[in-house]
Structure 1
Amino acid sequence: MLKNDLQQPRRQGEGPAGGIEVLQKSFESFNSATAKLQEAFRNLEIKFETLNRELEQKNRRLESLVAEKEEVRNYLETILESLTTGVVVTDHNGRITMMNGCAARLTGMDRGVVLPGEFRQRRKVRLGENVLEVLTSAVKGRDGSSPGTVHILLDVTRVERLEEMAKRTEKYAAMGEMAATIAHEVRNPLGSIALSASLLLKGLADEKSRDRAARILHSVRSVDNKIANLLLFTRKPEPRFRTLRIHDILRDILRFSGEILQKEDIRLRVNLCGGEPFVRADGELLKQVFLNIILNAVQAMRGGGELAFETRLHSDPALTPGMERSIELRFADTGPGIPEEDRKRIFDPFFSRRDGGSGLGLAIVHNIIDLHRGSVDVERAERGGTVLTVLLPLADEHPAAEVYEPQPGASKGRPAKAGKSARAEERKSGSEWEWI
């Protein structure tokens, strides 16, 4: 039996040798699986590195696109900020989503506020003294939608003023022809009437008759003076420009006006800027300007008041060409002031707020200042009264200046005596300047 047992073959896996074989195969299977895992891991690493490189490339491209878009955006913003026209973009509700600096300056608005309806409904909008032309267009999206509206704002204030000046010039030309006809048809008989009245005044002994003749003569001279003003206004004079000290002209006309101011109980305060500013001007025409301004102020202060006069120097390259260096002359009275509705008409011919006024005084001022390439403006003072400002371009810094002397025959008037009404205070030197 033992022999039979020894002779029978052992089954696989039985005994020590079989266990080793099974274990060996298990190790081989484990090694094979490990190798496959290692291969898969290496493939995964390679794929990860590839994806990483692709991601880095895409990130670099994205950063490049973002930088490029930022550069384009900055470039467009620079262009928008450089424009001298205003650009405003609004959404469907009219709320401002974008605007350039020019638009902000013109409108005084900020982003986020709702653009007033007048900007969306009108071609022209008035903001104070400025006039804006508004061009509106819908913003078109790629899909055809309209996410908002763009408004282009053009400052046409200067154009409007030039158009007004052109209309005014055309009107004045027609008035000039009419004035010449009136002067010819009326002045000749007026001269005869004046001569007859003068002869009557000398020959009449009766006081009542002499008084009537004197009133006739006074009325004739008044009419003749109005005709002369009309001719001065409609026929632009040919100025004789010379380089003059503006303060010389001012001192002369202020002395001439002293007696008028004293009579009306008006105190004059003068504050002249330092130095002796020079202008290229016709002295007699400027004298007419300053006299008209002073008389206008006197008529506004019946019963007394104060007339303050000062000069200031300006130097600003941003001003209108030719006015970069200029002198400002300000006349401020303590009268009732000018109503806002009359302010824009104050320089129109024949416009007068005073009974019996010709309405030519300030119109003549405007014309003469235009001839000198200056500007004149009027505004209401904060504490009441009127401030009239004349701006004239300065001449060269060191010109060969001529001393201003009134032309022969020009009205000189008597200087006012020193007193509480005819006294001027000049703050330039810190001492009182009395008429001499």
Structure 2
Amino acid sequence: MSEHRKGPSDGAEPPDQASGSNKEQWTDLQQEAKAKLETGRAGDDPDPNADGESADLRSPITWLPTVVETLVAVALALVIGAVLIALSERKVIEAMPYIFSYPQDFFRESWDAISSSYAALVKGAIGSGSAIGTTVERSAPLICAGLGVSLAFRAGLFNIGAQGQLIIGAMLAGYVGFSWDLPAGIHLLAAFTAALLGGAAWGAISGVLKAQTGAHEVITTIMLNFLAGSVLLYALSKEAFQREGSDNRLSPPANESARFADVVGNTHWGVILAFLAAIVVWWLLERSTLGFEIRAVGANPDAARTAGMSVPKIYTLAMLIAGLLAGLAATMSVLGRGDSLSPTMAGTIGFDAITVALLGRATPLGTVLAGLLFGALAVGGVAMQASAASTPKELTQVLQALIVLFVAAPAFVRGITRMRAQGSDSALMAKGW
């Protein structure tokens, strides 16, 4: 009868001192598992020709090509956007029939439309201190929710539930904010904690289902998004969540005692917390034991299980922390801007967070930069519409889609620009995606 060798996750204990051969087998098994974790491949032997320096994500050899490809993707999106701007301008269309007779008219009108639109976009996003503050404030919830999606990516999970987690966090924060009567400071802390706990609990549901039953996180998070929206609609139909003397589905805003104080201009302390959250997530993933386990499970859950790590625990904790970060995103609007709870309060932040995490290559720094870019496009899009070219602000959504499309297809970008593939892709995406 063949011998079955158990790993630590199977409940096997290390052999005693008397079983010398078994102890050697146990040691060999653990060393083999650790080697597989380092290479991230359970079924293949380590590549003897692999360069140790190229495997270190902190080395420019690995991340610099990725940055270049991302910048090229943004540039390509802007070029295609310029073509769309030109073709949407009335004077350009009128000059097209005479393009071969008077080409200068066509190119002059095209340049005027493109330059005025992009100039308005840049000026509206970062052209003044107030514009920068608005851009950063708009980017803060995208950064927080994007960090949650990125962390789940690193654990091998595709978290589409940031929208639902954000809704539950906002609902609890809003209720505590406008219905409780507490001193300033304590009231803010209570509402802030309620948002984090609500988002974390909603995210943990998918984590527990994945860990205990194997339910796919994509399915459960999508269903929980719909459920969270229905819970919000039900709550807004009750008097406890409605404004006094009104039966509209609109809650009172949070009391001033439960609001973030302003820092500079139109920014508040919640924006600072968003950037601090990015630092904490970076430390968690790169410097903590839990972060190593998250990355190990995301790279190869079978090898991590063999090395003694609890894969169900990591799945649960990863989704819990992801939901907590989505709850933090909810505080930016409810406790920051003082928005009221409404059926459309969350907008598309939770879904935009997926594109932010994708553009950021599932890294904290990349997620912050992607969130700032998307925030700038959202704010600048309004300025583009008010420019001389009257460019529709929906064009910024087209730019976002094009950027994500090119980032998701690096081989296509390299083929267009004749770039050579160098280094390794530092993005760690979910296995179930």
TM-score tier by shorter-chain length is under 0.3
TM-score by structure 2 length? 0.24
